């Protein structure tokens, strides 16, 4: 079968690879209909997360049909059209019982790597390096999904493939940030980053009752999507003092909840941007945290900052004094998708949550390299490139 693989730093190719097989009784095999690029893939492709092996199959946001199932799988049937969160969770450990699925104790077969880095191991993730389990990703014609009864969700007939596709990661990640960030009815929520995850965090905050939602980015086409498709306010950080703007829009208080949906390759202006770029290139810090710094600065006293963007290691000049003295709650997480997908699919079915506008580019899997190039360059207004392995 064909698959898009990581061949080296900044190198994506499409190759013939062996088809996957059932390895555990709780597995299913999917035929992939749609699979999509993610901003966090760029950290892998660019070599920022040094646990990729050449030949690894990329992709962690996908939708497909069950074509084969293990003998212990009960809830999912062959022929079901399913969407699957990107994190692998067993559904049986204490973390899963608390609906903290991306922290599953039994989802990462290689826990020694991340325990060495972070002190504990989160769950595994499809197509996301050997630090996160070494699972083959979704940019392929077929894919293995472990713990299928926990991770596979049947898509309602009234929801299109393209809409449901983003319930796999973008919406679930955004929902995780808005919900665990503590969004309450009446809150003001600010979101850094107007990519798919940031837009979906904003929409989730609105559906959770936020009264005012502001999204911050620098790309005009993404800010336009925020206004048109999400119904939130948009601020261009390249021409606006974000902290002053948020203060002015909130009666001097600052947002109640600040969600950072940018990650380790954040762009920023001026001295701060140059400082972070130089330190990262010299390997004196692994991640560029400018959006997190700004979120902490902007947040109201006693408010909540949620780190939703992907970070891998160490950052410098972290405003710990502001965090402590302003009494902030800072929380972060990968997505706990298995908790939120049923609610998300219900919103998608009702029309309250739409995602089709995120799929700005659709192409066959054979064009994966070009799809990632356009996505990385944000060329032609690209928000996400969707691959169709069957076309």
At its nearest, how many Å lie between another protein and the CB of residue 117? 8
Element (H, E) at 6: strand 2-8
In degrees and rounded to multiples of 5, residue 349 shows phi and psi of -70, -35
At its nearest, how many Å lie between another protein and the CB of residue 6? 9
The pair of three-digit structure tokens given for residue 259, joined into one six-digit string: 């969600």
- Chain centroid offset of residue 334 CA: 7
At its nearest, how many Å lie between another protein and the CB of residue 276? 21
Q: Return the axis-axis angle of helices 170-180 and 196-207, rounded to nearest 10°.
A: 50
At its nearest, how many Å lie between another protein and the CB of residue 32? 12
Coil, helix or strand at residue 96 = helix
- In terms of CB distance, is 119 or 321 closer to another protein? 119
Residue list 139-168, contact with another protein (CB under 8 A):
140, 143-144, 146-147
Exactly one of 45, 49, 57, 167 binds another protein (CB under 8 A); which one?
Answer: 57
The pair of three-digit structure tokens given for residue 196, joined into one six-digit string: 């798919």
Q: Does 113 bind another protein (CB under 8 A)?
A: yes
- In terms of CB distance, is 137 or 337 closer to another protein? 137
Exactly one of 105, 221, 236, 343 binds another protein (CB under 8 A); which one?
Answer: 105
Burial 97-118 (b: 16+ CB within 10 A, else e): eeebbbbbbbbbebbebbeeee
Q: Does 30 bind another protein (CB under 8 A)?
A: no
Q: Does 134 bind another protein (CB under 8 A)?
A: yes
For residue 226, which of 267, 195, 265 has the smallest C-alpha distance? 195
Coil, helix or strand at residue 145 = strand
Q: Does 99 bind another protein (CB under 8 A)?
A: no
The pair of three-digit structure tokens given for residue 283, joined into one six-digit string: 């390997």
At its nearest, how many Å lie between another protein and the CB of residue 359? 25
Query: For 20, which DSSP code?
Result: P
Q: Please list, in sequence order, all residues whose beta carbon lies within 8 angstroms of the beta carbon of residue 329, skipping any fewer than 6 positions away.
A: 182, 303, 304, 305
Burial of 301 (0-12, 13-18, 19+ CB in 10 A): exposed
- In terms of CB distance, is 57 or 210 closer to another protein? 57
First to last CA, the chain: 13
Exactly one of 86, 106, 285, 304 binds another protein (CB under 8 A); which one?
Answer: 106
Residue list 276-335, contact with another protein (CB under 8 A):
none
At its nearest, how many Å lie between another protein and the CB of residue 115? 4
Instruction: Give the binding-site size for another protein (rule: CB under 8 A).
Output: 54
* Euclidean distance between CA atoms 91 and 61, whole angstroms: 20
Exactly one of 77, 92, 184, 228 binds another protein (CB under 8 A); which one?
Answer: 92
Q: What residues line the site for another protein (CB under 8 A)? A: 3, 5, 7-8, 13, 15, 17-21, 23-26, 50-57, 72, 90, 92-94, 97, 105-107, 109-113, 115-117, 119-121, 124, 130, 133-136, 140, 143-144, 146-147
């Amino acid at each position: 079968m064909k698959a898009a693989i990581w061949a080296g730093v900044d190198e994506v190719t499409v190759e013939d690879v062996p088809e996957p097989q059932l390895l555990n009784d709780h597995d299913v095999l999917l035929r992939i209909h749609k699979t999509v690029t993610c901003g966090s893939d760029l950290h892998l492709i660019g070599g920022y997360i040094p646990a990729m092996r050449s030949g690894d199959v990329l992709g962690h946001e996908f939708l497909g049909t069950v074509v084969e199932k293990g003998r212990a799988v009960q809830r999912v049937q062959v022929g079901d059209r399913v969407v699957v969160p990107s994190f692998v969770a067993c559904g049986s450990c204490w973390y899963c019982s608390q609906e903290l699925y991306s922290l599953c104790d039994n989802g990462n077969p290689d826990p020694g790597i991340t325990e060495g880095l972070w002190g504990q191991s989160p769950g595994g993730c499809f197509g996301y390096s050997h630090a996160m389990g070494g699972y083959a990703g979704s940019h392929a014609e077929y894919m293995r999904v472990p713990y299928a009864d926990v991770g596979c969700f049947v898509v309602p007939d009234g929801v299109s493939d393209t809409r449901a596709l983003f319930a796999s990661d973008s919406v679930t990640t955004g929902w995780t940030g808005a919900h665990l960030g503590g969004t309450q009815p009446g809150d003001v929520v600010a979101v850094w980053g107007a990519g798919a995850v940031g837009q979906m965090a904003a929409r989730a905050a609105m559906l959770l009752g936020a009264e005012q939602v502001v999204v911050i980015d620098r790309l005009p086409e993404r800010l336009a999507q925020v206004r048109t498709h999400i119904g939130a306010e948009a601020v261009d950080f390249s021409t606006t003092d974000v902290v002053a703007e948020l203060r002015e829009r909130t009666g001097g208080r600052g947002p109640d909840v600040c969600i950072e949906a940018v990650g380790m390759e954040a762009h920023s202006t001026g001295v701060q941007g140059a400082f972070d770029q130089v330190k990262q290139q010299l390997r004196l810090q692994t991640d560029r945290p400018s959006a997190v710094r700004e979120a902490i600065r902007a947040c109201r006293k006693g408010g909540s900052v949620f780190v939703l963007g992907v970070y891998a290691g160490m950052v410098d000049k972290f405003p710990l004094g502001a965090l402590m003295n302003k009494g902030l709650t800072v929380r972060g997480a990968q997505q706990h998708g298995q908790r939120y997908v049923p609610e998300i699919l219900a919103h998608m079915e009702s029309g309250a949550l739409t995602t089709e506008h995120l799929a700005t580019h659709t192409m066959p899997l054979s064009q994966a390299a070009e799809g990632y190039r356009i996505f990385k360059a944000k060329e032609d207004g690209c928000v996400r490139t969707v691959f169709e392995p069957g076309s």
